[in-house]
Structure formats: structure tokens, C-alpha cells
Structure 1
Amino acid sequence: MEHEFWHNRWANNEIGFHEGSVNQFLHDHWSTMVDGNSNDTVLVPLCGKSHDMWWLNDLGHPVIGVELSEVACKDFFAEAQEKASVHPGEPFIKFRHDTLELWCGDFFQLVPEDLKNVRLVYDRAALIALPPAMRRDYVEHLTAVIPDGSHILLLTLDYQNEDVQGPPFNVSDEEVRALYGEDYDVELLLKQDMPADSPFAKRKGLHRATEGVFRLSKL
């Protein structure tokens, strides 16, 4: 998927993937990632304008969100009625509000030095936003730039319907293990059916889909 695809989605407000509240799986399972007093930095790849970043920051975590669309970055702060300082640069324009930063640019331009303080990653909508051909590159780059010992909370969606076009795309448990198993300890925390009345299921006409929550620990 080319950059233009995502720029067009944001420009046209075609953002059905955006959640208007804190993700319930994040709320329920974040405690498995940290002790109660942790203030480790959290990376949120392909973050959009997710409210989850404010929630994580309110817990005391410095947050680095990486997002391609400048529209999403500006909307994130505007909708929260918060001001951010803007720091132009290459390869990222950085929007900063206290200990919460959005880096506007290409995720694949990140280098290990950028994320040397990161110990936690929250992936709600990065892996499932990518078509199969791009997922291996995404996982390999993420693995290359985050420090050893980092932990990832990964949310997945699995459905079998060839008529449904992502994003979000279906990602099976088997694919998660194939993508991450060599470099991570992979633990499935939760697997459950998606409610039939969920906005995604109704919008896509899905009769059956499952949601997964994984805890990944980089070896």
C-alpha cells in the first residue's frame, strides 16, 4: 500500500478504523505489560489519532506515536483541545506536548537511536492495517529498531471472507507466530468472537470474526 492511499483516506475522512474511545483490550490487558509504577516509553506505530495515546500518557508513560498523515497528527491535538509544539525536520516532523510526541513520517525511516528509550510497544492498528505482502517487512523493521527485552501488546482481527477488503485485514494466530516466533516469546492473552453488532462487523457484513490479544517479548 502506497503512502498516497493513506493520505487520501485521511484527506477524505475515510477513517472507519479510528476508535473514538480508549480500546477495551488495552484497558484490560495493559497491566500485563508493566508493573503498576512503570514509566517506560511506549511506541505506538501507525498510530493515527488514537485516544489510546492520551490514556497511556496519563498513566505516566512517555509516548512516541509514529504516523504518516499530518492531518491525523494535527487532528489528534486539536480534538483534545491541546496545543503541541511543532519541530520540522527530516525524516520526521515532530509534534510535542509534554511527554507525548507524534512523529509524522514514514515508519520505515526509524532507526534504533530514535527508540533507544522505548521498552513497550502498543500495536492496535499497525499490523492489521497492512496487506500480507508488507507484514514481514513491518515486523522485521520493528524488530530491528526496538531494544532487546521490549514488550509488545498486539491486537489482531481474524475473519474469513474473501469479499471483505481491508484494511483492517485478517491476521490469524498462526501468522502472528510465523512472523514473530523467531525473535519473540509469543503469548496469546485472549481470543474471543467479535460481537455481531460491532461497528466493523456491521460495516463489512461479517457474520463471524475473532479478536486476539498477544503479549510479545523480544528475546
Structure 2
Amino acid sequence: MTMSGFSHIFPTHAIASPAEPGTVSAGKSREKARLMDAGANAVFWQEKWERGETGFHEPQANPLLTRHITALDLPAGARIFVPLCGMSQDMVWLAGQGFHVTGSELSDIAVRRFFSDLGLTPDIADAGPLRCFSAGTIRIFAGNIFDLTPDLLGPMDGIYDRAALIALPEDLRRAYAAHLLSLTGPVPELLVTLDYDQSCLKGPPFSVDEAFLRKCYGQAYAFTLLENRAVEGGLKGRCPASENVWRLSPPSP
């Protein structure tokens, strides 16, 4: 698959605001820069998968998930969305707990490898501009997450985001957060973030502090910090960092 096929993984025209009078040129410049960032981000991750540079992939379920999934208070059979899922074993663990798991992932390579490693032959169907791979209680939409719609996704009861929000630079994080809310509405979410001095590392993963979360999600959710722990040895061995586990709760009816 060519790099050009991923030049618009996060097409920000979908969330752009109308320009105020007198700001058209500035708005076009910002939009152009944002689209360039989106294309660069897509190419970055696609090339990681093509070269097999998947050190970010964990071979087992993340202990933060296994410790805190009960905070979402979801029954067996609930539908959980895992955005930018890669080939995460967290999905296997969630399915093993009786949940119906839906992932979204840019890389077709990652999705095929995920099912192959499990010894499964998934059903594959076109879903608009995406492809939907499914086997048992796990399905994954391969392609641009911004091409995923509420109708394609279907109702969700919860979200688990361990490595999506922190994988994106700031402008794309804002777009992603808005799109995620448009897909699922405010459903309970288990969110894992990193907090560190961004000047120490270029990222990804990127630092996402509480202020940014409240700016993106504050009107839709209440926040509970479930766990805060120091990253042993520092992030990539270079700078102190903390890993935070948040429960995002929608308003009570």
C-alpha cells in the first residue's frame, strides 16, 4: 500500500469551524497546516507497521485495563469501542470477559496480523470506505477513523482508550476527541494518558494533562482519577513521566 493512500487519515475539514470575517487567509493557513500534520501522522504510523517497528505493541493485556475495567460498571455483553486499536491484546482480554469489542485501526497490516495471531479467519466486508473484519465477538474497522460513522459503528456502551489520544499531536487530538463524541455520544470511558514535560521528547506518545482533557471533554463528562503512577525508569529512559488512568463518566440522567 502506498504512502499516498494515507495522506488524509484525519481529514480536519470534517470539524473545521466557519471563519470570521477578515480571517479567511489565516483560517486557510491553519487548515493547510492541519491537513499536512494529519498526512504526516498517517504516514508515520503506516510506515511503523510496514517496517515491523511495533515496540509500542504489548503482547499481553495492559494491567491498567485489568485493574480498572470494573470502574466502567458495564455488564457482560456490553459493547466496548477501542479506537486506534492496533493489534492490542486488550481486545482479546475484553472479549474474554464477555464484552463485545469493536476496534478502529488505520493499518490493514495490523488488523490482519491480529486475527492471524489468534488463529482466526475473520469475515471481511466493505463498510463504506472502510473494511470490517469480524470473528466471534471482536470486529475491527480498518481504515480512516474519521470515515467511521455512528451508523457503521452502531451503539456503544463504553470506550477504552489506552493509546489513541496520546498517539496524536495536539490539533489531531482535538479533532479525534470531537469525532469520538460524535460516534458514541457520552458513554463511560476508561482513558489512559501520559503526563510529562513535552520539551523533553518530541512524541509520540504525547503528554496529555488534565487541563487538555477538560478542554476537550469537560462539557460531556465528569472526571475521576483512578490511578497515577510514575513510569519506571522514565519515558523512553529519558524523562520523568506519570501514567494516569481516568474514568470519564457521562452526566447522570
Q: TM-score, normalised by structure 1?
A: 0.91
SS of equivalent residue, structure 2 residue 199: coil
Equivalent residue for 2:242, pick from 202, 210, 213: 210
Aligned to 2:122: 84
SS of equivalent residue, structure 1 residue 108: helix
| Structure 1 CA distance for aligned equivalents of residues 57 and 201 of structure 2 | 18
CA spacing shift, 1:92–1:39, aligned 2, 3 Å: same
One-letter amino acid matched to 1:195: E
Gap runs ≥5 in structure 1: none
Aligned to 1:195: 232
Aligned to 1:21: 60
The answer to whether 1:146 aligns with 2:184 is yes
Cα shift at 1:33: 0.7
1:67-120 Cα distance to aligned partner (Å, 9 max, x none): 010000011011122221221342211111012101101111122223332111
SS of equivalent residue, structure 1 residue 118: coil
Aligned 8 A contact 1:94 1:104 in 2: yes
- Pairing 1:124-143 to 2, within 5 Å after superposition: 124-143=162-181
The answer to whether 1:38 aligns with 2:63 is no
SS of equivalent residue, structure 2 residue 157: strand
Structure with higher helix content = 2
CA spacing shift, 1:147–1:162, aligned 2, 3 Å: closer
Aligned 8 A contact 1:115 1:145 in 2: yes
- Pairing 1:93-108 to 2, within 5 Å after superposition: 93-108=131-146
Aligned 8 A contact 2:189 2:249 in 1: yes
| Structure 1 CA distance for aligned equivalents of residues 113 and 60 of structure 2 | 15
1:28-87 Cα distance to aligned partner (Å, 9 max, x none): 00011125x431111000000000001001111111100010000011011122221221
Greater Rg by CA? 2
Gap runs ≥5 in structure 2: 1-37
CA spacing shift, 1:145–1:89, aligned 2, 3 Å: closer
SS of equivalent residue, structure 1 residue 20: coil
One-letter amino acid matched to 1:10: W
| Structure 2 CA distance for aligned equivalents of residues 90 and 68 of structure 1 | 15
1:174-198 Cα distance to aligned partner (Å, 9 max, x none): 211222111111111111111117x
The count of corresponding residues between Structure 1 and Structure 2 is 212
Aligned 8 A contact 1:44 1:63 in 2: yes
SS of equivalent residue, structure 1 residue 56: helix
One-letter amino acid matched to 1:205: G
The answer to whether 1:171 aligns with 2:203 is no
Q: TM-score, normalised by structure 2?
A: 0.79
- Root-mean-square deviation over aligned CA pairs: 1.6
Aligned to 2:50: 11
